[in-house]
Structure 1
Amino acid sequence: MTAPTVSVVRPPYKVTGSRVLRAEWAKFWSLRSSWITLGVALLLLVAIGAIASATYSPDAVAGDGPPGPGGGGASDAVSLALTGLTFASLAIGVLGVLVSAGEYSTGMIRSTLAAVPRRLPVLWSKSAVFGAVALVITTVAALAAFTLGGLGLDGETIALSLGDDGVLRSLVGAGLYLGLVAVWGVALGALVRSTAGGIAILVGVLLILGGLATLLPDSWEDTVTPYLPGNAGSAVYSLHEASDSLSPGAGLAVFVGWVALTLAGAAYRLARTDA
């Protein structure tokens, strides 16, 4: 007697935004480079800030301008706590490039796009996952650096507390800036589809472009320099607004514009060209 055939009805699976988001979340945390690079960024931000505060000496600081990044004068507790932010931004940005461009170098992007034929949800999910992770982790790191730094600045005239005007805004702004750097790194990697190329652009724009702008005529330099990505980003977490820089709100708007422009370019290339 022949056994009856049992047909198995599989439930229909649909590619949704939430499922793509969960897949990118799992993919991100499964990579060893994610844990290592995030740890490096956290260590750089906290350790360098704490060391800078602990070794602070009023006699070593010159200038009469307002304190803070770009202020040209004496340091304050916030700028000391965020001394390692430039190094942390490089680590975060490099990891962002790896998150997207790394799939092109390994060929995994073909499997990813085969699973998500609409393509663009992949870019949005990568950006959202890493941007959110970087925002939370670096904001906590900035608060930790400020708290540890305050122990070394006890009794100094530049010592501040979280309740002082602008302090919490600056520290949260540092985390917000680094979260945007993370998204920007993802967008650069997806745009150029090369790890080396994406990292080179990231480093060049954040660290070198501002210095090259000083070669421009003075009238051009004063007009252009505040709107460069690195300078606009630094305005987001500055405690005191310098005369030649943007306000925190304007700096945030400009930097978001740079990130959005890069994301738009990456989305266009992803949608229009083959992997």
Structure 2
Amino acid sequence: MITATTYALARSGHYGLRQAARMEWIKLRSLRSTTYALLLTVVGMIAMGVVTMANTQAPRGAEKIASFDPTNNVLAGVALGQLIIGALGVLVVTGEYSSGTIRSTLAAVPNRRLALTAKAAVFGGLALVIGEVVTFVTFLAGRAALAADVPHPSLGDPDVLRAVLLSGAYLAFVGLMGIGIGAITRHTASAIGALVGFLFVLPLLLAGFTGTTIAKFFPTIIAGNSLSVSVPVSDVLSPWAGFAVLCLYTAALLAVGGRLLVRRDA
């Protein structure tokens, strides 16, 4: 869906990121699938966090007590959230190619890099807001579900607030990676397959053969063992090193996607 004002600005050559972002926001909020997918993310993450925490037992023994990290348990729902957000990011791009509406989009914003930047800015911003809200709600709800004899984490405890914030940001990263992969393939099934392989299949295979030596550089391992922990895990990246790697992945995928969009015909 493109507003007459945006199209007129494009025709006159007076369009920019603001107009392109406004157009993308109108398209995104008009799709029912967006609302349903985001609602599923919220409900699924909160439910997984609460169930995980409700089944968390108090550690026994000095070694288990030292490594016990209930914050990591309550953020277990990120595994589900990343799949939904990533698939939705793919559809932001590939859905237009499959329906043919990409022609209208590029008629309004002929600069393809600008069009992709607008998509990334709008969806990335929405995913970031949803991610932060749902991780905070999940943390609070999961904390309330803990048994009385289990240590209750607090946002004031060392590294707990950082873990919650970076876990929410991780969902935005995955959404942006989905946009990048979608722009590279322009085909929904192959893009989602590539995303799932990158997030889940490849790191698990590598972990089985090499341990964390290589797998620790993949997003899912970074999320589960670096970003969402308040107790350091050995043989993985530090939280901020993992955050930097995610920034590089996201920037690289969007850059390649933008370059390929410029070279291809719609």
TM-score higher than 0.5? yes
Corresponding residue for 1:257?
A: 248
> Alpha-carbon deviation of 1:158?
2.5
Corresponding residue for 1:78?
A: 71
Aligned in 2, Cα 1:148/1:229: closer, same or farther, shift over 3 Å?
closer
Residue type of the partner of 1:37?
A
> Alpha-carbon deviation of 1:53?
1.3
> Alpha-carbon deviation of 1:202?
0.9
- Rg (Cα) greater in structure: 1
Residues 1:122 and 2:107 are matched in the alignment: no
Normalising by structure 1, report the TM-score: 0.86
> Alpha-carbon deviation of 1:177?
0.5
Corresponding residue for 1:204?
A: 197
Provide the C-alpha distance between the structure 2 equivalents of 1:62 and 1:92, rounded to a whole number of angstroms: 39
Provide the C-alpha distance between the structure 2 equivalents of 1:158 and 1:23, rounded to a whole number of angstroms: 48
Identify, as 1 or 2, the structure richer in helix: 2
Percent identity between the two aligned chains: 37
Structure 2 residue ranges without an equivalent (≥5): 1-7
Aligned in 2, Cα 1:271/1:161: closer, same or farther, shift over 3 Å?
same
Corresponding residue for 1:232?
A: 222
Structure 1 residue ranges without an equivalent (≥5): 1-9, 68-72
> Alpha-carbon deviation of 1:52?
1.5
**Moved beyond 6 Å, runs of 4+:** none
Does structure 1 retain, via aligned residues, the 8 Å contact 2:128–2:171? yes
> Alpha-carbon deviation of 1:63?
9.8
Provide the C-alpha distance between the structure 1 equivalents of 2:61 and 2:142, rounded to a whole number of angstroms: 20
Corresponding residue for 2:56?
A: 56
Corresponding residue for 1:97?
A: 90
Corresponding residue for 2:36?
A: 36
Does structure 2 retain, via aligned residues, the 8 Å contact 1:222–1:244? yes
Aligned residue-pair number: 256
Corresponding residue for 1:135?
A: 128
> Alpha-carbon deviation of 1:13?
6.6
What is the aligned-residue RMSD (CA, Å)?
A: 2.2
Provide the C-alpha distance between the structure 2 equivalents of 1:249 and 1:26, rounded to a whole number of angstroms: 34
Provide the C-alpha distance between the structure 2 equivalents of 1:63 and 1:174, rounded to a whole number of angstroms: 28
Paired residue secondary structure (1:161) = coil
Does structure 1 retain, via aligned residues, the 8 Å contact 2:58–2:151? no
